[in-house]
């Protein structure tokens, strides 16, 4: 049951109309009819709008796709380089030692 399905809203409208027969009082009946009309309006608006969701292949614009392939992360091994880069082998940079004063 999806809120984007007009049949759901039409069924709710019909249910409200059935409740009008059992309701007591003019105000209650008018409120139930008004709710039924709103449900019908929801159903019509769903039928008239274009599909809000893009197909999966169009979800990522071409200008974004050019930066790299999407990798499925579920179950994929982590990307670990085969070798350690040189800058990591050197270790932290040492601050220059001040020159000894010649006494």
Residue 86 falls inside a structural domain: no
Residue 39 falls inside a structural domain: yes
Closest CA to 49 of 9, 1, 17: 9
Overall residue count recorded for the chain in this entry: 103
Q: The whole model's pTM is what?
A: 0.47
Please give the residue range of the domain that contains residue 38: 6-51
Residue 75 falls inside a structural domain: no
Residue 33 falls inside a structural domain: yes
Mind listing the pLDDT tens digit for each residue in 75-95? 666 666 667 767 777 766 665
Residue with tokens 């169009």: 58
Mind listing the pLDDT tens digit for each residue in 13-53? 999 999 998 999 999 999 999 999 999 998 998 888 776 55
Residue 70 falls inside a structural domain: no
Residue 30 falls inside a structural domain: yes
């Amino acid at each position: 049951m999806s809120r984007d399905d007009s049949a759901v809203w039409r069924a709710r409208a019909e249910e409200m109309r059935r409740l009008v027969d059992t309701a007591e009082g003019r105000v209650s009946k008018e409120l139930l009819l008004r709710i039924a009309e709103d449900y019908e309006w929801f159903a019509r608006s769903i039928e008239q709008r274009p599909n809000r969701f893009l197909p999966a292949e169009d979800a990522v614009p071409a200008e974004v796709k050019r930066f790299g392939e999407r990798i499925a992360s579920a179950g994929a091994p982590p990307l670990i380089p085969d070798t350690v880069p040189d800058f990591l082998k050197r270790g932290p940079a040492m601050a220059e030692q001040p020159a000894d004063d010649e006494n």
